Amino acid sequence: MTFQALRLSLESIPSRTPGRVRLGVMGGTFDPIHHGHLVAASEVAAVFDLDEVVFVPTGQPWQKTGERHVSDPEHRYLMTVIATASNPRFTVSRIDIDRGGATYTFDTLNELRALRPDADLFFITGADAISQIMTWRNAHKLWELANFVGVTRPGHELDPPLGEGRQITTLEIPAMAISSTDIRQRASKGAPIWYLVPDGVVQYINKYRLYSPEDAATHYGGGLPRQKDSTDIQPTSEDKVMEQEVLHG
């Protein structure tokens, strides 16, 4: 039996469990992170009454193997920290980067469940990913680990074949029309990307020439120190000061 992904309604939002934290999980390549990601996370947090949203940059995205080069994970992690630093409800996790190997949502959610046994998880992802969700590793077990929220562009129809008892609540976000692919292409041509990504991320991209075709060594080689703590979900204030110094130094 197949169920349609649910359009957002009060009935489709799980009720809060007393004494438990509601933790949004926003996974993605974030190459680069942009305002669409941030608006989506903020809107889902408001609608679903989330206490926190943790952004989880992928280590090695299994879907993108062979498709294109993905920027060094340290660059993507630092851009995500810079983009989210001003929102006290947003944190960033290194668990997928530090795990090594291909990143699978099943492993991400399992590890977060172990780190945060007090939390009910709400996995936030885009329409393109949702349409392929049943091809993910251990897809039939994902709903045992988290609630699923699909963020879509207005007018985008979403009807993935999920199987019995599996639901995805969808929420239309106008800012999701912004595309990381388009931002990379614009940056590679020297076109402006201001107002598509946070100002600090624009400066970071420019400083490290992440998407400049003539500087592939910087793009793919990183050049930044690897962080060692794989269990800390929230970067310390000391980490954020260091990252701001890297940006402006």
Position 68 scores a pLDDT of: 67
Query: Quick one: which H or E segment has residue 157?
Result: none
- Give the homologous superfamily in CATH for domain 6-12+19-248: HUPs (3.40.50.620)
CA atoms within 13 A on the CB side of 95: 27
Position 166 scores a pLDDT of: 76
- Which ranges constitute the DSSP H helices of 31-154? 35-47, 73-84, 95-99, 105-115, 127-130
SS3 content of the chain, % helix, strand, coil (to 5): 40, 20, 40
Q: Tell me the per-residue pLDDT of 73-85, one tens digit each, with 9 for 90 and over.
A: 999 999 999 999 9
Whether 241 shows a pLDDT value over 60: the answer reads no
d(CA 198, CA 41): 14
Whether 233 shows a pLDDT value over 50: the answer reads no
End-to-end C-alpha distance for the chain, whole angstroms: 57
Position 124 scores a pLDDT of: 96
125 within 8 A of 87, measured Cβ to Cβ:
no
- Looking at per-residue confidence, does 49 or 168 come out higher? 49
Position 207 scores a pLDDT of: 96
In DSSP terms, which residues pair with 145 in a beta bridge?
none
Whether 51 shows a pLDDT value over 70: the answer reads yes
Q: Tell me the per-residue pLDDT of 193-228, one tens digit each, with 9 for 90 and over.
A: 999 999 999 999 999 999 987 654 343 333 444 444
CA geometry: angle 136, 154, 131, nearest 5 deg: 15
Mean residue pLDDT of the chain comes to: 81
In DSSP terms, which residues pair with 69 in a beta bridge?
none
Whether 229 shows a pLDDT value over 80: the answer reads no
Q: Tell me the per-residue pLDDT of 85-142, one tens digit each, with 9 for 90 and over.
A: 999 999 999 999 999 889 999 999 999 999 999 999 999 998 778 778 888 999 989 9
Burial of 246 (0-12, 13-18, 19+ CB in 10 A): middle
Domain ranges of the chain: 6-12+19-248
Position 154 scores a pLDDT of: 76
What's the pTM value of the predicted model, to 2 decimals? 0.80
Q: Tell me the per-residue pLDDT of 131-162, one tens digit each, with 9 for 90 and over.
A: 788 889 999 899 999 999 999 887 766 665 56
Position 184 scores a pLDDT of: 96
- Looking at per-residue confidence, does 142 or 11 come out higher? 142
